[in-house]
Amino acid sequence: MKTVLPLFLLFLSFSIGVAQTTDPRCVQTLRTARATYEQGRLHEMQSLLDDCLNNFSKNERIEAYKLLVLTYIYLEEPQKADEAMLDLLRTDNFFKPSDVDPAEFRNLYAKFRTKPVLSIGVRGGMLSTRVHVQEHYTVFANSQGKGTYKSNARFVGGLAFEKSILKDKIVLAPEFLLSGHSFTYANKEAFSDDNTADNVSDATGLEAIIQQSTFQFNLIGNYMFKKTLLRGLVQPYAGAGLATSYMGANSSKFLGELQLEPRGDDVSGAELDNTDNYKSLNFAGVLLVGGKIKIATVYLTADLRYYYGLNNIVNTDNRYKMEGDNIEILTRYGYVNNDFKINQASISIGLIYPYFNPKKLIK
C-alpha cells in the first residue's frame, strides 16, 4: 500500500500535466481571438480558432467555445450558436454562465438540458442491527424471556442511482445493496429446568451468533436543502423511503456456544443453517440525513440512516420444525426464535458519477 499510493499520485500528476499541456502557438491564438472579438471582427473568429480547438487545454477550450457562441449569436447564425453551445457543455458538463455574461448568452444556455440525465455510483458502510422482541418463545419453560440481544456490526454496500425531479428539489435514489445483519443472543438460564443438552449434561447457558445476508432494494426520496454548508462546499439533504430485503437460500447462519457450570468451560459447535426460520421478504421504513461534496467530475456522499422494521421476520411455521439443522438448534442448544422485528442504524459513504447528455430543449 505504501508503494502503490505514491505511484498513483505520480500517475495522477503526470496525467493532469499532460491534460493541461497546450501548443504554445494555440496559446497565442486564443489571445488573438480575444482581441479579435473585442474589436468586433466576428467573421474572422471561426477560421482563427478552428485549428486549435483540439489542441487547447480544457479551460482554454471552454473559453474558445464561449467566444464562438457569442460570435454566432451576434452574427445571427442560431444553428451554429447551438452547435457551439453543445460543444461547450460537452467539454464542461458543469459549466454555468456567470451574472456578467451577456443576457443573450444566458438566455441561450437556459434553452439546453444542462442537468445530469442520471447519476450512478457505489455506496458502502457499516450497519448495526437491534432486535425488537414482540413475543417470547422458549424450548425450556423457565428460560422464557430471560435472553438478551446484542448488536453486531456488518458491512452493507452496492449500487446507487439518482434522478433529480421537481426542479432539483427532490432526488429519487433507488439502491441495490448486499446487506449483512448480525446479532448475538445470550441466555444464562437457557437450560434452567432441564439439563439434557446432547453430550453436555451440565450445560446451563447459551450464547449464539446469528449472521444473515440479504439482497436489499431501497426506494428513497431525498430533499435537497437550498442552503449549503461550509461556504457552499457541502449540499445537505434528508430523505425517507422503503427498504425491501430478500433472504435467499443458505443466507442465515447460527453459531452456538454452550456454557458449562460450575466448571466455567464453553463448548462451541459447528455453524448451522437456520435460513428456513426466517421469512424471505422483509420490509423497513428508512430515514436518513447526509451531505454531498463535488470532487472533480464526481460527488462524494456520506449519510446516517435508520431502518425501522415493519414486520416480524421470523417464519412462525418453522419455529419448532424438527428438520435439518433446526433439530440440533432446538435440542442441543435449546434455542428457538422469539417473534421480533429488526431496527438498524448505518453510516455509509459513496461515490456518484453524474451522466450528462446535453441537448437543446427549447427551440
Which residue did the predictor score with more confidence, 17 or 266?
A: 266
Give the mean model confidence (pLDDT) for residues 101-115. Answer: 96
> What fold is seen in the domain 118-355?
Porin (2.40.160)
Q: Per mean pLDDT, which range of 133-137, 140-144, 222-226 is the poorest?
A: 140-144
Give the pLDDT band of residue 5 (cuts 50, 70, 90): very low
pTM: 0.84
* pLDDT > 50? residue 134: yes
DSSP collapsed to 3 states, 67-108: HHHHHHHHCCCHHHHHHHHHHHHHHCCCCCCCCCCCHHHHHH
CA atoms 64, 69, 73, 79: torsion sign? positive
CA atoms 262, 268, 272, 277: torsion sign? positive
The domain made up of 4-109 is a member of CATH 1.10.20: no
pLDDT in tens, 192-247: 664 444 444 456 788 999 999 999 999 999 999 999 998 889 999 999 999 999 99
Give the pLDDT band of residue 188 (cuts 50, 70, 90): confident
Hey, what's the cell of 144? 422464557
- Whether the CB-CB separation of 306 and 286 falls below 8 Å is answered with yes
Give the pLDDT band of residue 24 (cuts 50, 70, 90): confident
pLDDT in tens, 275-328: 999 999 999 999 999 999 999 999 999 999 999 999 999 999 999 999 999 999
pLDDT attached to residue 57: 92
DSSP 170-237: EEEEEEEEEEEEEEEEEETTTTTT----TT-TTEEEEEEEEEEEEEEEEEEEEEE-SS-BTTTTEEEE
* pLDDT > 80? residue 112: yes
What's the whole-number average pLDDT of the chain? 89
Find the radius of gyration of the CA atoms of the chain: 31
Give the pLDDT band of residue 22 (cuts 50, 70, 90): low
How many Å separate Cα 302 from the centre of its chain? Answer: 8
Q: Do 4-109 and 118-355 show the same overall fold?
A: no
* Residue 285, amino acid: G
Block residue for cell numbers 447564425: 77
* pLDDT > 70? residue 14: no
CB atoms inside a 10 Å sphere around CB 333: 26
pLDDT attached to residue 108: 97
Q: Where are the domains of the chain?
A: 4-109, 118-355
pLDDT attached to residue 202: 58
